[in-house]
């Protein structure tokens, strides 16, 4: 793809912090972010003349209009992310995830790549394909489905339903399951897991980044479609994840009979559709576990590392 001007909403977050340096290798990049979780993720880009930061709010019409000036393509990441944060602030979740996306679609005249989530499927027994019925169990997944509906009104769009991310980013997210398990195993030397046999699907954050680069290179053939992003090898139970960590960390692992996951995720996902176009993930669970173990000496339990704690 030729060099273009890309707007990334929410570009200072967990995914954006990894994505922006990769985009900047070829493109001009502007970020619209209100810095809910700080600015550290942006630091490596400062000084790059192709990088521009716009401190604003995706809910604000003027900020959207200004941010969209001279833009060729939008990657829409900004959101209130995860079910605990959305449960704690349902009005904010609707405003940011749904209504701000609606407004963005209204003013945006260029193609959009949208970060949606596998959480949209909810509790499904069959293997989820992009055509499976959506049974959102939380405010987070409901507002993301509402956002998908808005995005589909755009002339040109790609919707990605990501598996649960894991791995290191300059803006750590320790509320994500794999990251959470590793840090607890290392720091607390103990991990208590409920619903140990529940299936989840995972994707390394650097593979999420690769999927966006893939979308830029294959936009025309991918246009107007939804894709699950992840890999079948990373459809794992919580117990699988804990046992994988045990290969590297000595900790006490306990399976609890009580406790439930409010977003009721227990599902397997097919990634055939995007694989058929040539996209394959590269990073394994062990890659993520090993880097998180290394990073654990620098990471403390700051509240901004947990999306679920910030808004309480």
Ligand X SMILES: NC(=O)c1ccc[n+]([C@@H]2O[C@H](COP(=O)([O-])OP(=O)(O)OC[C@H]3O[C@@H](n4cnc5c(N)ncnc54)[C@H](O)[C@@H]3O)[C@@H](O)[C@H]2O)c1
- Which residues sit at the interface with ligand X, rule CB under 6 A? 10, 12-16, 32-37, 57-59, 77-81, 96, 115, 117, 144, 162, 164-165, 171, 173, 176, 307
Q: Residues with Cβ < 8 Å from 240, sequence gap 6 or more?
A: none
DSSP state, 127? P
- Would you state the structure tokens that stand for residue 113, as one six-digit string? 């790549």
Element (H, E) at 166: strand 164-166
Least distance in Å: CB of 312 to ligand X?
Answer: 15
Quick one: 73 or 115, whose CB is closer to ligand X?
A: 115
β 73-76/164-166 pair status: unpaired
Quick one: 81 or 105, whose CB is closer to ligand X?
A: 81
Q: How many CA atoms lie within 13 A of 89 on its CB side?
A: 16
Quick one: 37 or 198, whose CB is closer to ligand X?
A: 37
Least distance in Å: CB of 17 to ligand X?
Answer: 8
Quick one: 8 or 245, whose CB is closer to ligand X?
A: 8
Hey, CA dihedral for 197, 166, 185, 183, is it positive or negative?
negative
Residue nearest to ligand X (CB): 13
Closest-CA residue to 37 (of 308, 312, 304, 306) = 304
Q: How many CA atoms lie within 13 A of 88 on its CB side?
A: 11
The whole-angstrom separation of Cα 165 and Cα 204 is 5
Least distance in Å: CB of 81 to ligand X?
Answer: 4
Least distance in Å: CB of 166 to ligand X?
Answer: 8
Rg, C-alpha atoms of the chain = 19
Least distance in Å: CB of 257 to ligand X?
Answer: 28
Least distance in Å: CB of 278 to ligand X?
Answer: 22
Quick one: 79 or 242, whose CB is closer to ligand X?
A: 79
- Would you state the structure tokens that stand for residue 235, as one six-digit string? 């459809």
Quick one: 34 or 223, whose CB is closer to ligand X?
A: 34
Least distance in Å: CB of 164 to ligand X?
Answer: 5
**Residue 140 φ then ψ, to 5°:** -60, -55
Quick one: 59 or 102, whose CB is closer to ligand X?
A: 59
């Amino acid at each position: 793809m030729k060099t273009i001007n890309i707007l990334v909403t929410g570009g200072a977050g967990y995914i954006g912090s990894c994505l922006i340096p990769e985009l900047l290798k070829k493109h001009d990049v502007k970020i619209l972010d209100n810095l809910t979780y700080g600015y550290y993720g942006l630091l490596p880009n400062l000084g790059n003349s192709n990088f521009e930061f716009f401190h604003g709010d995706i809910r604000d019409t003027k900020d959207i209009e200004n941010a969209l000036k001279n833009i060729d393509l939008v990657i829409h990441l900004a959101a209130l992310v995860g079910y605990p944060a959305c449960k704690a602030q349902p009005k904010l979740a609707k405003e940011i995830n749904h209504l701000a996306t609606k407004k963005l679609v209204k003013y945006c005249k260029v193609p959009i790549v949208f970060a949606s989530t596998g959480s949209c499927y909810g509790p499904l027994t069959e293997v989820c394909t992009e055509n499976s019925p959506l049974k959102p169990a939380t405010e987070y997944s409901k507002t993301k489905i509402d956002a998908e509906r808005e995005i589909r009104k755009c002339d040109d769009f790609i919707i990605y339903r990501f598996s649960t991310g894991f791995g290191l980013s300059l803006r750590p997210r320790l509320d994500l399951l794999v990251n959470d398990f590793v840090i607890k195993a290392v720091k607390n030397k103990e991990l208590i897991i409920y619903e140990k046999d529940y299936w989840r699907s995972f994707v390394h954050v650097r593979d999420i980044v690769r999927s966006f680069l893939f979308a830029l290179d294959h936009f025309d053939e991918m246009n107007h479609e939804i894709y699950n992003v992840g890999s079948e090898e990373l459809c794992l139970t919580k117990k699988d994840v804990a046992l994988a960590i045990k290969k590297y960390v000595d900790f006490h692992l306990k399976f609890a009979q009580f406790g439930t996951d409010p977003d009721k995720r227990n599902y397997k996902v097919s990634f055939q559709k995007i694989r058929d176009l040539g996209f394959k993930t590269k990073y394994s669970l062990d890659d993520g576990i090993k880097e998180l173990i290394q990073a654990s000496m620098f990471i403390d339990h700051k509240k901004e590392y947990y999306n679920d704690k910030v808004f309480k």
